[in-house]
Amino acid sequence: MGRVAGKVALVTGAASGLGRATAIRLAEEGARVMVTDWEDRGGAETVDLIKGAGGEARFRHQDVSSEEEWQATIDEIIATWGRLDVLVNNAAVIIAKSIRDTTLKDWRWQNSIALDGVFLGVKYGCAAMEKSGGGSIINISSIAGIIGLDRSAAYCAAKGGVRLLTKAAAAEFARLKNGVRVNSVHPGVIRTPGVEKTIRKYGGTDKEAKVRASFEAMSPLGELGEPSDIANGVLYLASDESKYMHGAELVIDAGFSAVR
Ligand SMILES: NC(=O)c1ccc[n+]([C@@H]2O[C@H](COP(=O)([O-])OP(=O)(O)OC[C@H]3O[C@@H](n4cnc5c(N)ncnc54)[C@H](O)[C@@H]3O)[C@@H](O)[C@H]2O)c1
């Protein structure tokens, strides 16, 4: 208990999956958490789960691709708790299509959320953290930000962009000596509603078994990851235990990207 006690955290895309698990884990360890998402019901449920366990959290509707909503979200955090110490840029969507089938509209939508959304978070989150004397930004990328995956060009481009945006921000913040650390996290295949939905899409068909097998084949340890596997990595980067980590990529993928 208490690994991030006293800190104020913002987790985007926290109505579901990894964002929800991360918000809950940070709250368990003492952070006050602003849960944001464009899905209000799931976001409110995350807050109920945190409060039910004795933690402190609020929900705010936020579309991470909107610059105005980023500014308003940061304003609300400062008005509520007076500071921002931890930002987890987690919200994303995935377009799983071949390049031939990806329209320019698809491409722009993918990047407006998964890359522009992270850029805006880094920009406005950093400005708020500088006023709080520093902080930790954690950008959720993917193994798709390190290696190329078939039928995922737009997603890989966004996640690869997040990886190098993180390193460029790290270089800039080091020059500024602003006390803000920034790192990226690269999950492998984790059992979340998003992943389960993709598998269920082929429910009862041969394709379902194939999709499930292809996901399991991406785990050299044999099983899909659990959201807590990622939440624990984020907790480490959020806490002062990781004070010497900056511009790094934390790969949590059961070894997939190392051994493929
Ligand atoms: N689950 C995995 O296996 C896996 C693997 C690698 C990377 N990731 C990354 O982890 C993060 C979370 O993934 P997940 O599996 O939990 O997905 P998920 O679909 O279960 O949750 C994503 C959340 O983001 C929200 N969201 C989407 N677009 C938004 C927007 N514009 N504004 C605000 N909220 C928005 C959704 O409403 C949802 O609640 C994503 O960045 C994803 O790319 C996941």
Q: Rounded distance, CA 13 to CA 23, Å? A: 10
Of 218, 229, 213, the C-alpha closest to 260 is 218
User: 118 lies in a domain?
Assistant: yes
The rounded Å distance from CA 176 to ligand 1 centre is 31
User: 142 lies in a domain?
Assistant: yes
User: What pLDDT score was predicted for residue 48?
Assistant: 99
Domain interval for residue 189: 8-259
Tally of structural domains, the chain: 1
User: 1 lies in a domain?
Assistant: no
The rounded Å distance from CA 1 to ligand 1 centre is 27
Ligand 1: residues whose CB is within 6 Å? 12-13, 15-19, 37-39, 42, 62-65, 90-93, 113, 117, 140, 142, 187, 189-190, 192-195
**161: domain CATH number?**
3.40.50.720
Dihedral sign computed on CA atoms, order 55, 60, 62, 64: negative
Q: Buried b vs exposed e over 104-136: b needs ≥16 C-beta within 10 Å? A: eeebeebbbbbbbbbbbbbebbbebbbebebbb
User: 16 lies in a domain?
Assistant: yes
Place of tokens 């209000």: 40
Q: In the structure, what pLDDT confidence band is assigned to residue 170 with cuts at 50, 70 and 90?
A: very high
DSSP string over 127-158: HHHHHTT-EEEEEE--GGGTS--TT-HHHHHH
Q: Taking 80 as the threshold, does the pLDDT of residue 1 lie above it?
A: no
Q: Taking 80 as the threshold, does the pLDDT of residue 252 lie above it?
A: yes
User: 174 lies in a domain?
Assistant: yes
User: 3 lies in a domain?
Assistant: no
User: 2 lies in a domain?
Assistant: no
3-state secondary structure 156-188: HHHHHHHHHHHHHHHHHHHHHCCCEEEEEEEEC
User: What pLDDT score was predicted for residue 197?
Assistant: 85
Active site residues: 155
Q: Taking 80 as the threshold, does the pLDDT of residue 232 lie above it?
A: yes
Q: pTM for this one?
A: 0.98
The rounded Å distance from CA 189 to ligand 1 centre is 12
User: What pLDDT score was predicted for residue 141?
Assistant: 98
What's the whole-number mean pLDDT along residues 149-168? 98
- Report the percent of the chain where pLDDT is more than 90: 89
